[in-house]
A and B are shown apart, each in its own frame.
Chain A
Amino acid sequence: MDGTLTFLGLESSCDDTAAAVVRHVPGQTPLILSSVVSGQTDLHAAFGGVVPEIAARAHAERLDLCIEQALQQAGIELHELDGLAVTSGPGLIGGVLSGVMTAKGIAAGAGLPLVGVNHLAGHALTPRLTDGLAFPYLLLLVSGGHCQFLLVDGVEHFQRLGGTIDDAPGEAFDKTAKLLGLPQPGGPSVEAEARQGGPKRFNFPRPLLDRPGCDLSFSGLKTALLRARDSLIAEKGGITVQDRRDLCAGFQAAVAEVLAEKTRRALAVYLERRPAEPALAVAGGVAANEAIRSSLEQLCAAAQVRFFAPPLRLCTDNAAMIAWAGIERTRSGHPQQSDLVARPRWPLDQSAPALIGSGKKGAKA
């Protein structure tokens, strides 16, 4: 035994059904043997957001198909695997349950160990899959469902330095697109419009910049955009193409500036630890936005911190990150049976105060 681990990963916590096979030989770069993602954008398009029940219905009938495809593309059979990893939270519980039960069925039938993985840990450990980053590094997770700064100290050790107290930026991009009659997903369509617009015409707020710390807020920005749009409509009965470009540019500039400033503060906290090879990594679909990415790159260059952005297909939801997290957790000797209980809420940093969903059921993420 040379310690090689080959894992199948499953992901179904939001609107992507995914399966992937990852192999790791100790001391070598991990190999993604396959990564299948079946999106559901078309199913939810009419509703202006992900409908949990529709997502769950799709996951339940697509997971095994994705798995078969992933195994075939990897040229591997189940009995050649060393284990399975599945997202067991946080996320939309119907989809998470479908994934966990499919995984339990496979694990039982194939006699394979099964590891429950926190979806956020999957994102947070991706820079080690793609770039072999050493701990500790700073991660900005910025997606349609999440926005947080995580100080990644180890496979099981995450410290949340801050995060959004309401919407995630990806959600704000989607809502902006919807308010302006642009196609979903909103990230790419708003970015394309913004490229041709002027960012200074509309003066959008920079929420929470006046307060210390790394927490963020995006719901007020969305409201400001709605007000600006409505005042244009009140004035002339609609908005022009150029109005729309300027609104997008103004909105994107506000998001980029807020993210850059909060990242600067998070970096300062991180650098106090004097890491040997300081690094900031981003994850999540919003990291694909060029304006946001370039402002973060500039920030890192000035602070002499290396900047890592995994390729988009590994930034957005995928199962390779779950397989990888399963491998990492197995190597660290930490997998627990209790991690296989599907849960909608599961913050990575259990000690940080709740930002969202702090009711009796506890913090969301």
Chain B
Amino acid sequence: MTDAVLGFDTSAAHCAAAVVSDGQILASRTEAMEKGQAERLMPMLEEVLAEAGLTWRDLSAIGVGTGPGNFTGVRISVAAARGLALSLGIPAIGVTTFDALSFGLSAPVVTLVDARRDAVWLAAQDLSPMQADLSALPDNLRGRHFVGHVAEAAATALGGTAVAPAHPLAVAIALIAEARRGTPQPRPAPLYLRAADAAPSSDPPPVILP
């Protein structure tokens, strides 16, 4: 057994995986795909492990992207990570897209994630994760550094600077998980910043007469 950490993410239109050990990247792969992550993920994990010259038993922790992002996509990875953690007897550590995209950047950044429906999810060190319309980004973010989805447009609109992530998503997730490995972590759970689309039933029950 080595100290390697496997990180992966399917929170958006991609399938990404990486293996790190002691801060070094042993393997990293990102494939763009609209769908099919559920079929592609496990083979891709085995491929990056093989590329790193490792097997499942060499892992000391799993890092998994918890979004926010595509609900089903996030669940694909989180469910796989929890299954792997159970069978390997190692921790699975959830890492948000916010933490992953801002990891390793020198300046404080506002992290943006595509929320569809002309909206973004954003977060910063001094700003709890929230949803905002693309056309109405919060004015108090003026002049900041932006990373992630539509970072360029946000920087232009708010007079800030767009920066690129320091690492591929899965690499950042693996590195963060490696750093957190020493302290107890909750089981990974998807970060949902939008409630399920469902309205409580509107038909009132009939009046029951005495």
Contact = CB atoms under 8 A, between A and B. Distances in A.
B78 interface: yes
The size class of the interface chain A forms with chain B is 35 or more
Given A101-B76, A103-B83, A105-B87, A238 B200 contact: no
Contacts of A237: 207, 209
Interface in A72-123: 78, 93-94, 97-111
Interface stretch (B127-135, B154-162, B184-192): B184-192
B208 A61 contact: no
A63 B208 contact: no
B209 A64 contact: no
Interface residues of B, number: 40
A243 B84 CA distance: 55
A46 B75 contact: no
A109 B56 contact: yes
Given A108-B87, A179-B206, A238-B209, 15 more contacts: A47-B199, A61-B190, A63-B79, A94-B72, A97-B38, A97-B75, A98-B79, A101-B76, A104-B41, A108-B42, A109-B84, A239-B208, A240-B208, A244-B208, A342-B38
A104 B76 CA distance: 10
B205 interface: yes
Contacts of A68: 86
B86 A240 contact: no
18 contacts: A53-B198, A54-B196, A54-B198, A56-B75, A63-B83, A78-B86, A98-B75, A101-B38, A104-B83, A179-B203, A180-B205, A229-B206, A233-B206, A238-B206, A238-B207, A240-B208, A241-B209, A244-B208
A47 B203 contact: no
Interface of B: 38-39, 41-42, 45-46, 56, 71-72, 75-88, 187, 189-190, 192, 196-201, 203, 205-210
Identify whether the interface residues of B are mostly helix, strand, loop, or mixed.
helix
Nearest to A10: B83
A111 B46 CA distance: 12
Nearest to B59: A109
A239 B198 contact: no
Contacts of B208: 181, 238-241, 244
Given A94-B75, A108-B84, A178-B203, A64 B196 contact: no
Contacts of B198: 47, 51, 53-54
A68 B200 CA distance: 33
Contacts of A180: 205-206
A181 B87 CA distance: 46
B23 to A, nearest CB: 24
Contacts of B206: 179-181, 229, 233, 238-239
Contacts of B201: 46-49, 178
5 pairs of A and B residues whose beta carbons are closest in the complex: A105-B83, A109-B87, A181-B205, A238-B207, A48-B201
Contacts of B85: 64, 105, 109
Nearest to B202: A48
A309 interface: no
B44 to A, nearest CB: 12
